[in-house]
Amino acid sequence: MGELDGQVALVTGSSRGIGAAIARLFARHGAAVVVHGREEAAVTAVTFDIEADGGRALSVTGDVTSAEHIASIRSQAERELGPISILVANAGGSPVPPGPLEELSETDWRRSIDANLTATFLTVKEFLPGMKARGRGCIITMSSAASRRPTVHSPGAYAAAKAGIETLTMSLALQAGPAGVRVNCLAPETILTERNQQLIPDDVKEQLRRGHPIQRLGTPQDVAEAALYLVSERSSWVTGITVDIAGGAVLV
């Protein structure tokens, strides 16, 4: 028996990186997982891995900054797997490189806010009513250590959007708790996703490593294990918090 047997989980942005690690771990613990992304081939690859490992998964694509797309994802998931009881609003990222605020265009500001804060809002808005009606549900939002530990390398709009997600999480936990729905947030620091492994030079990785009290950089699995705890019965009296997956970096 798995910890998540009988549950259906949607992990947005799960075609690679942190989201893919969460989707795979949830599936190994018994959940039927809706794997989401924008690129069909990447989504299908993760779904194939889950099914090859004996799990159950469904591939969906769509833009989570579009309420219409998210509604379509919910309809497909419910039709093929059943109601979503676990939601990980993981999709996001930094579409704009760092730079002085005065050089940031309004368009790029809105891109950063939409890709992170607005996407989280629209995703939760679509799935929360059903969870409340059923009296059960777990939601995880995704912030970043940049929200409370901004650096010259963390774009300001991205950090602001992630800080907004943390505040939104607390508000949601207050509203949804009486209906039996828990809402928590994860805030990773530098995670060695496939993309970061390729993009970050080795000397920079070493410099980043030394900046963590736990002397290594994070992995997608580190974040996935924390996510599993927050949606399992082991955390049944935990809601409204942000968990730093940061090797202690936010302390210094």
Positions marked active-site: 158
Mention every residue, 6+ apart, whose C-beta is less than 8 A from residue 250. Answer: 145, 148, 149, 187, 189, 244
Distance of CA 186 to the CA centre of its chain: 7
CA distance 1 to 152: 47
Residue 229 structure tokens = 């705890």
Phi (first) and psi of residue 138, to 5 degrees: -130, 130
Q: How far is it, in rounded angstroms, from Cα 166 to Cα 184?
A: 9
Which is it for the CA torsion 247, 21, 113, 101, positive or negative?
positive
End-to-end CA distance of the chain: 41
* Cβ 30 vs Cβ 3: under 8 Å: yes
What is the helix (H) or strand (E) element at residue 89, kind and residue range?
A: strand 86-89
Q: How many CB atoms lie within 10 A of CB 3?
A: 16
Hey, what are 199's tokens? 């993009």
**Residue type (1 letter), 78:** E
